[in-house]
Each structure stands twice: as C-alpha cells, then as structure tokens.
Amino acid sequence: MALKRWTPLLAAVLAAAACGGDDGTGVTASFPEIAGEYDYAAQVEGAPEAEFVGTLEIFDVSRNDAEFTGNWTIYLVDTTTGDSVAGYTGPISSGTVQKNRSIEFDFGTPDYHHSGTVEGSTITGTWVLQGETTDFTGPFTAQR
C-alpha cells in the first residue's frame, strides 16, 4: 500500500530524469544570459584611495555558446576627493561564460584579466593587471 502512495512521485522523477542532458535528445542547459550594460566598480588592493568605475557593455552572446564580446569604459577615481584621474576605453576580449556561471574576460589584453561568477544580473570576481614591474589586483562587481 505504501508503494502505491509513492508511485506518482517516482513516475514524475523518472520522467524528469528521462528528459536527458546535453546529448541532443532532451532538455539542454543553456549558458547564462549576460548580454547588457553593467555598472562596473573595482577596488585596488593596497590602494584604498583608488577605485575604477565605469560601464561594461556585453554583446554577441549566444545562449548556446560560451564566447562573448563587448566594450568597456572605466575611470580611475581618487576616492578621497571623488575626482576622476584618468579614463580608459576598449574592447572586451577573450570573453567566456560557462554553464556553471563562471566567467572570464580581458580588457583588451590578457594583461588586464577578470575572472568571476555570474549570479542573476551581477558579476563578481577578481581582476589582475600585469604591470612591467608589479601586478595590481582587487575585487570587482558589475551590476546590470
């Protein structure tokens, strides 16, 4: 008698499992939706008076492919005065987002690399800028 009670639930679970995975015969997981414009902010470790702020525009995104491109515009801001010290712009290159929501991209060159995670409309992670004599790094957030 107890089995009769569980039969509908087991049937539903088995039916869902039979939908398949990435083999082309059933439901496939898609890549995260990341296209759009983001407000970008990045702190500089060891330099609390400096912050990068700006925008990212991510496009050329397919829900069936990991690669994407885009553009970025950022400003180096003196946080003690709020003044913009310098501005930079360029293409997003080597952009990839995985089904597990991990994301990587460069600001124009592999010397300015970002890696992180997509959660809803937010990307968080770490950036590294390789300099001639020293590297700079810190956390970043991009909010759509």
pLDDT value at residue 24: 52
pLDDT value at residue 62: 77
Residue 9 or residue 36, greater confidence: 36
CA 113/CA 42 separation, integer angstroms: 12
What tens digit of pLDDT does each residue of 126-136 get? Answer: 999 998 888 99
pLDDT band at 55 (very low <50, low <70, confident <90, very high): very high
The full 3-state SS of the chain, as one line of letters, equals: CHHHHHHHHHHHHHHHHCCCCCCCCCCCCCCCCCCEEEEEEEECCCCCCEEEEEEEEEECCCCCCCEEEEEEEEEEEECCCCEEEEEEEEEEEEEEECCCCEEEEEECCCCEEEEEEEECCEEEEEEEEECCCCEEEEEEEEEC
> Looking at the predicted structure, is the pLDDT value of residue 4 above 50?
no
> Looking at the predicted structure, is the pLDDT value of residue 70 above 90?
yes
pLDDT (average), residues 72-83: 93
Average pLDDT over all residues of the chain = 83
In sequence order, the 6+-apart residues with CB closer than 8 A to the CB of 130 are 111, 112, 113
Residue 85 or residue 4, greater confidence: 85
> Looking at the predicted structure, is the pLDDT value of residue 13 above 60?
no
Segments making up each domain of the chain, as ranges: 35-143
CATH topology of domain 35-143: Lipocalin (2.40.128)
> Looking at the predicted structure, is the pLDDT value of residue 114 above 90?
yes
